[in-house]
């Protein structure tokens, strides 16, 4: 039995890695093979996997994960500005800082559960968001957003408008204008950027898989199903919860850092609570508590966002051109509610439909369909083997 699950895990992991690495080829036929979108899919995949470690395993619904995205983004940008354009230190610092942040927020919020926990995390995230716009403007550059700039020549210039890049300067890297972010010389844009994110996504997936299968993961699931009983058995659940919260915060920090690494600008709008809502939706859409689900949800939503928001009335009109004219106009008018600028309407509707009809997400849908087929084939198999005597 043990071997069987292990084998299953390995197959799942290898399959996942293969699919992620071949994503450009797979997405080619549906017109989604461009690096910008691919990077987003990989980055939000990491974010959703991390969110799922908390929400899927322990059942604690956090509405404040966008705060860690923000922390990761800002930290990465400061690393670019002060140290080097290489992404490795930036990512390391961001993940560590996001982890520390998550520890602080988690330490306070995890004293409560249920809806109180959701509101506490929401309150903290909104606090970070407001502060980034007001008091912390010397660090965050307010509404303009933090950006990488050219090396400082005049020591009077504020660090927001000019960079130091101590390490790069020490190594004598020649800079012509604002340099691009790199991974030991490889520019982090286009397909290189995507493959960098994809490799990290695969590593994150592996870690999440190991976590889920470990005793620690078992404990988290136990917390989800009955925390009281665990308390009665004398197990202190808070350390486990804090650990899960910190891990998922670090995942979010990594995602935020990668966002800043592939597109070196950081703004506070990434921390708004709608961003937290988006990752919840990704996880739900894919399937809460499953390993592949959140990544699938993230990919689907990012793809749909790109596609649906690019449609306009002209496309709709040609789409409904087979209808009589009045009907065509009517359908175009109705359709225009949901496309282009109205992409969020579609998102909200999708959200509702999934929660109402398929609370387990796409993965549950797949499960149901395969179950139907399996039952059928089982019946066939039984029918065939019925006449033979039992062994």
Contacts for 363 with CB less than 8 Å, ≥ 6 apart: 286, 287, 290, 292, 293, 296
355 binds another protein (CB under 8 A): yes
108/381 with CB nearer another protein:
108
Contacts for 138 with CB less than 8 Å, ≥ 6 apart: 160
239/359 with CB nearer another protein:
359
Contacts for 305 with CB less than 8 Å, ≥ 6 apart: 343, 347
What's the CA gap between 357 and 56, in Å, rounded?
19
116 binds another protein (CB under 8 A): yes
245 binds another protein (CB under 8 A): no
Stretches 41-49, 76-84, 194-202, 355-363: which one binds another protein (CB under 8 A)? Answer: 355-363
Q: Least distance (Å) from another protein to the CB of residue 205?
A: 24
* Alpha-carbon dihedral sign for residues 288, 291, 293, 299: positive
126 binds another protein (CB under 8 A): yes
Q: Which of 26, 119, 167, 230 binds another protein (CB under 8 A)?
A: 119
Q: Which of 5, 11, 134, 377 binds another protein (CB under 8 A)?
A: 134
337 binds another protein (CB under 8 A): yes
135 binds another protein (CB under 8 A): yes
119/211 with CB nearer another protein:
119
247-286 burial code (b ≥16 CB/10 A, e <16): bbbbbbbbbbbbbbbbbbebbbebbbbebbbbbbbbbbbb
59 binds another protein (CB under 8 A): yes
264/335 with CB nearer another protein:
335
Site string for another protein, 270-299 (x = CB under 8 A): ---xx--x--xx--x---------------
Q: Does residue 45 contact residue 17 with C-beta atoms inside 8 Å?
A: no
Question: Count residues contacting another protein (CB under 8 A)?
Answer: 43
Q: Which of 12, 21, 26, 127 binds another protein (CB under 8 A)?
A: 127
Site string for another protein, 16-55 (x = CB under 8 A): ----------------------------------------
DSSP string, 167-183: HHHHTT----SSPPPEE
Q: Which helix (H) or strand (E) holds 30?
A: none
For residue 164, which of 84, 59, 48, 220 has the smallest C-alpha distance?
Answer: 84
What's the CA gap between 72 and 70, in Å, rounded?
5
Contacts for 23 with CB less than 8 Å, ≥ 6 apart: 38, 41, 42, 194, 198
Q: Least distance (Å) from another protein to the CB of residue 351?
A: 3
Q: Which residues bind another protein (CB under 8 A)?
A: 59, 61, 108, 111-116, 118-120, 122-124, 126-127, 130-131, 133-136, 273-274, 277, 280-281, 284, 337, 341-342, 344-345, 347-352, 355-356, 359
């Amino acid at each position: 039995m043990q071997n069987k699950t292990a084998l299953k895990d390995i197959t799942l992991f290898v399959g996942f890695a293969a699919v992620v690495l071949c994503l450009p080829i797979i997405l080619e036929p549906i017109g989604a093979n461009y690096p910008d979108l691919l990077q987003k899919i990989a980055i939000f995949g990491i974010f959703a996997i991390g969110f799922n470690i908390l929400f899927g395993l322990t059942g604690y619904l956090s509405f404040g994960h966008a705060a860690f995205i923000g922390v990761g983004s800002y930290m990465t940008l400061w690393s670019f500005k002060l140290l080097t354009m290489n992404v490795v230190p930036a990512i390391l610092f961001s993940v560590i800082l996001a982890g520390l942040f998550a520890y602080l927020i988690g330490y306070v919020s995890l004293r409560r559960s249920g809806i109180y926990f959701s509101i506490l995390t929401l309150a903290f995230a909104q606090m970070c968001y407001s502060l980034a716009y007001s008091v912390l403007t010397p660090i965050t550059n307010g509404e303009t957003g933090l950006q990488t700039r050219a090396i400082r020549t005049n020591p009077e210039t504020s660090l927001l408008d000019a960079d130091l890049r101590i390490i790069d300067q020490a190594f004598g890297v020649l800079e012509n204008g604002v340099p691009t972010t790199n991974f030991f010389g490889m520019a982090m844009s286009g397909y290189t950027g995507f493959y960098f994110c994809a490799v990290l996504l695969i590593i994150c997936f592996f870690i999440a898989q190991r976590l889920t299968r470990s005793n620690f993961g078992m404990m988290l699931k136990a917390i989800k199903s009955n925390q009281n009983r665990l308390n009665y058995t004398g197990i202190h659940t808070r350390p486990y919860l804090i650990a899960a919260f910190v891990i998922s915060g670090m995942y979010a920090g990594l995602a935020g850092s990668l966002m800043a690494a592939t597109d070196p600008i950081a703004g506070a709008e990434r921390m708004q609570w709608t961003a937290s809502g988006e990752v919840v939706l990704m996880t739900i859409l894919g399937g809460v508590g499953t390993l592949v689900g959140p990544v699938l949800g993230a990919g689907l939503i990012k793809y749909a966002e790109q596609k649906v928001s690019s449609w306009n009335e002209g496309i709709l009109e040609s789409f409904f051109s087979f209808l009589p004219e009045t009907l065509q106009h009517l359908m175009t008018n109705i359709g225009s509610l949901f496309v282009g600028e109205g992409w969020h309407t579609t998102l909200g509707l999708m959200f509702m439909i999934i929660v109402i009809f398929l609370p387990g997400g796409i993965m549950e849908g797949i499960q149901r369909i395969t179950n139907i087929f399996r039952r059928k084939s089982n019946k066939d198999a039984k029918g065939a083997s019925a006449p033979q005597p039992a062994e």
